[in-house]
Structures are given as structure tokens and as C-alpha cells.
Amino acid sequence: MRSARVVFAASLAALLSLSTIAAATTANAASVHYAALGDSYSSGVGAGNYTSESGSCKRSYNSYPYLWKNANSPSAFAFVACSGAVTGDVLNSQISALDSSTTLVSLTIGGNDAGFASTMETCVLSSDSSCLNAVSNAEAYATNTLPGKLDQVYSAIHSAAPNAHVVVLGYPHLYQVPGNCWFGISDTKRNAINGAADTLDGVIAKRVANAGFTFEDVRGLFASHEICGDSSTWLNSTTFPIDESYHPNASGQAGGYLPAMTAGA
């Protein structure tokens, strides 16, 4: 009889402990005020199912900010990421979503400043040498000019939301090289484009570290899921609408960016 009482007491204690943990988790989630800033990789361009209010910003219900919000039920959610955004847009149009009550911020930014769209257009439509020149110019901008712009953004975020944990996510490689694509651009171009992503991510990671924020690298998560990859592709190749080309699809947001955001948050 005494043994049964001991077992019962131990079971009750375990249940109470689990209840306490669950209650604490719920309370923590309820206290989160989350703001998602940034460019098209954060708004979810290419993932479809866009919110009616977002217009040309193309904020998707399949984007990692929305998926994280749905999984964690924060008490407040501000989603202002926008297609085509550059660092100046974050400073001029998105920072206003933050205040002292904001506890979590996420963003991707820098790719458009470095000329991602025009570089891809050159690489798809022009010769190898033209592509390599465009990539070289983008890398030079990322190395020499972008750091100061990122510093301005990160400083502004810290000033507007001094109590927030900030997660900055990087950009994936677009191509697996060599891959299983029989058509499309050359491996020379693909390697150069991937190299530009490495340069951009390296610059962002350094500035994020200097700001005291958290950097999440998505390149490993996208490995083998790039265009021409061995597994299901998480990135759009050339597609229509054309602005959705070379962006994560719904699988890329759910399988690549959401786990990175979850790890960083």
C-alpha cells in the first residue's frame, strides 16, 4: 500500500511539473511582441498566398514570419517586410513598427542594396563574362558600401526596440553545382552567383555580430534543395510573375527559413 502511495505521489509531482512547464511556455509566448521586417525573402515573395492588405509588398501567409507566428502565438505581431526593400526602406518605412514593447525582431536585408535582381538578370540573359562582371560589382558593393548601411539599420532597430532580441537571417545559395539541370545558365555563372551569396552572408554575419544580434545562416538548411538540387527544390527558378524568380517557394520558407528563425528566436 505504501509503495502505491509513493508511486501515486511521484506521478502527481511529475504531472504538476509538466503543467508548470506548459504554463510557463504559454506565458512566455503570450509576452512576445514580434515584428518582422525586411525584404522579399522575409515577406515571402515566391511562396504564394499573399495577404490582401500587402499589395505589391507581397506578404505571404506561407512566409516564415507568419509560420512562426502561427506556431508560437505571440501576443503582438507586426509584419511589415516588403518586396524590393533596401536598407533605406527599413529605416524610412519599417522601423516605425517597433517600440519599447517589442521583444522579438526578424529580418533579411542587404540583397537588394547589392543589386541582387539586376545581377540575376544579367547572368540569365548575358554571357559568362558579363555575369562575372556583374557579380564582381555586387560583391564590391557588399564589401565596401553595405556594411555602413547595415550598421545604420541595426543601430536604428536597437534604438527603436531596446528590449528586443533581433534575429537576422542570411541568404541561401541559389544553385547546386554541379547539379541535375540539363538546361539553364552555365556552371560558371552558378558558381559565381553562389559566391556572391557567400560574400553577402559573410558581410551580414560580421555586422550582426558587431551589433550584438543573432545571425542565422540558411545555406546549410537549403543544401541539396537549391535549383538543380538532388532533392525537392525550395527555390523558384525563372518563373512568372518574374519578380518571384530566385526566391524561396512555400517549401523553402517552411523547411529552410522557419527552422532558422525558430533556432534564432
Q: Which of 33, 173, 225, 247 is catalytic?
A: 247
List, in sequence order, every beta strand (DSSP E) within the chain: 33-36, 76-79, 104-107, 165-169, 214-216
SS3 of residue 76 by DSSP: strand
Active site residue 40: yes
Active site residue 232: no
What stretch of H or E contains 263?
Answer: helix 258-264
Q: Which of 33, 40, 42, 43 is catalytic?
A: 40
SS3 of residue 34 by DSSP: strand
Question: Is residue 41 a contact partner of residue 117, using CB atoms and an 8 Å limit?
Answer: no
> And the C-alpha cell for 14?
511529475
SS3 of residue 241 by DSSP: coil
Question: Is residue 80 a contact partner of residue 35, using CB atoms and an 8 Å limit?
Answer: yes
* Positions marked catalytic: 40, 247
